[in-house]
Amino acid sequence: MTERKPSGMSFESFIDKQIREAIERGEFDDLPGAGKPLPGLDKPHDEQWWIKGYLRREGLTADALLPESLQLRKEIERLPETVRAFGREDEVREHVTQLNRRIAEWLRTPSPPHVPLGPVDVDAVTDQWRSVTPSAPPATPRQETPRRRRWWKGRDRGK
């Protein structure tokens, strides 16, 4: 913890004194980048250098900064390329199901900007994946689950 500035001493001389004493103690020796030029001095000034550097250090893309609705929209647009990397149909179905869950969560409590979004057809994506994947096994017929009857459809209507 630094000591308090004595009254009557200017801030500049107080700070200069602290820096000088730290240099004498060797606290600035062996710092990374010592004796090297500052990175980026030869490049034009960029106002968002800090966020670009943060994204680069963390290995993120600029998509991480987008609102959720736009992230979902971009993910839907990239879905054919994304599922092309999968080797099995159940992986494709699971990925699309997870995406549909996230879309449904956003639809329950939408936040701006309001982008028209809807669930993705799992069977259509799977069929498209099968058509572009040469080693995809043939489709096995899926058993349809019987739809439940609505309780109000089969009742007597005031006879």
Helix segments in the chain, DSSP class H: 11-25, 49-58, 68-77, 79-84, 89-108, 122-132
* pLDDT at residue 65, rounded to an integer: 86
* pLDDT at residue 157, rounded to an integer: 54
pLDDT over 90 (residue 76): yes
Residue 158 pLDDT level (bands cut at 50, 70, 90): low
Q: Encode pLDDT of 121-131 as tens digits.
A: 999 999 999 99
